[in-house]
A and B are shown apart, each in its own frame.
Chain A
Amino acid sequence: MTVAPRHPYKLSSDWDGTYHRKPTYQPIYLSTHPLIFLAIAIADFELMSQMNQFHKHAVPSFTGDKSPYAAFSGTPDRSLSNSPCSSNTTLVDDEGQTHRLEYSQLGQKSVKGTVSGIQTYRIQAAQSIKSELNPNATTFVPDRFVEYGYFPPPINTPEAWLHILDIGMLASDPTLPPLLVRLGPWSIDTLRDLARLFCWEILAKANIVDFGPEAALFVRDVRDTLTIHHSEWHSSCFVSHLQKSAIDHFKSFWCSFVRSITVHSYGTHHRTG
């Protein structure tokens, strides 16, 4: 496996793009001789050049999908004790050689060891999650929403529908109805599901948000867009399901008795309403 090298002087800069020099490098500046300043300046310039070259090649591998460092998910190891720069306080004249040495050590030991450990952890975590996941589990709903009477949307509701309805039913936006209608294909079943989802938005969120006439205005715009981009049948089917769903819910709130019709023919059919 190819492992992206990690520069010893960039321990805390992999994630925020900033450069932090190690403290062991700073005492050199305590010298006051002008030639030393010049030498330090040249060495510093060369060092920076080398680091720039290194970063030019290293950065893409840090951000690439195939990078094992992607497993960090933004939580780098910032402990200085793991760095050879911290444990090795010897300052040699040829800093470039020192960097190459440290880089080599990191690449062969620390980095590989860290990546190996992460991979082991990830495999164990994945196996643990896989064995504990319940595919039939109900949707997680935070308690804060349950207190307000919120309940999850119908199963298999597309996330894109939810996002568009969340926005469109609260504020008029002419771009949203075409966006929603483009999410077809629309069948009698999907049009029914969409109509029911409009009702669900009100039922589940009435205690959380204030719905005004914009909600119904959005429904009308969706109906008109269905007519324009598809057919009269699509819009009629959508409105028919919407009316049925709305009346059913209205009766559930206000009718103290519901009518139940039982039809016995060759088979048995039950309907309530």
Chain B
Amino acid sequence: MVLTIAQDNPGAISPRNRLETKRWNVALDFSCFIADMFSFGLIETPIMHGCLGILLHEMASVQHVRVIQAMVKRAGPTLWQSADSHERRQEFTMKFVERIKSLPDNASLTGREESIRKVIKVCDITG
């Protein structure tokens, strides 16, 4: 018999948890480390897209936007060079814009417009 149970992760960065600066720094640095490993060929493309998918799915604060931006930049253009890159990029773009719009008002993105614009530019979302 196999049971699959979804358990709450109390340590996750979410609106329910008060975000500590130390934990945020570690989360950001570790996520960038994964992106760097991808750029050096240590992490495969599906895994990297899986990580971005998790961030998009869980997006609930401006921190999620920032870490997506940082990961996309550090991963480099290789992120969109797979066989299905076009579909992947369109899917990512659509989801990204959709999730940003769904962010609650208290997760203010004021002053982050440039950051978001860079993400869109790196991903060639507007192209």
Contacts and interface: CB of A to CB of B under 8 A. Distances in A.
A216 B33 contact: yes
B2 A262 contact: yes
Contact of A149 (B8, B23, B31, B39): B23
Contacts of A250: 30-31, 34, 51, 54
Contacts of A255: 9, 12, 54, 58
Most buried by A among B23, B37, B43, B64: B37
Given A213-B74, A215-B33, A252-B12, A262 B3 contact: yes
A247 interface: yes
Contacts of A202: 26, 29-30, 33
Contacts, number: 128
Interface in B2-43: 2-9, 11-14, 16, 22-23, 25-34, 36-37, 39-43
Interface of A is mostly: helix
Interface of B is mostly: helix
A13 interface: no
Given A258-B6, A263-B2, A216 B42 contact: yes
Interface string B35-76: 011011111100100110011001000001001000000100
B83 interface: no
A269 to B, nearest CB: 10
B60 to A, nearest CB: 8
Nearest to A204: B26
Contacts of B6: 257-260
A213 B29 CA distance: 11
Contacts of B58: 254-256
Interface residues of A, number: 37
B40 A207 contact: no
Contact of B13 (A243, A254, A264, A272): A254
A215 B42 CA distance: 12
A149 B11 contact: no
Contact of A223 (B11, B36, B42, B64): B42
B1 interface: yes
B5 A264 contact: no
A254 B55 contact: yes
Interface in A17-68: none
B5 to A, nearest CB: 5
Contacts of A211: 29, 32-33
Contacts of B1: 263-264
Given A216-B37, A254-B13, A256-B9, A207 B25 contact: yes
B9 A246 contact: no
Contacts of A219: 37, 40, 42
A217 interface: yes
A213 B74 CA distance: 8
Given A255-B9, A258-B7, A259-B4, 18 more contacts: A206-B25, A213-B39, A213-B40, A216-B33, A216-B36, A216-B42, A219-B42, A220-B41, A223-B42, A253-B30, A256-B14, A257-B8, A258-B6, A259-B5, A260-B4, A261-B2, A261-B3, A262-B5
Interface of A: 148-149, 199, 202-203, 206-207, 211, 213, 215-217, 219-220, 223, 239, 242-243, 246-247, 249-264, 272
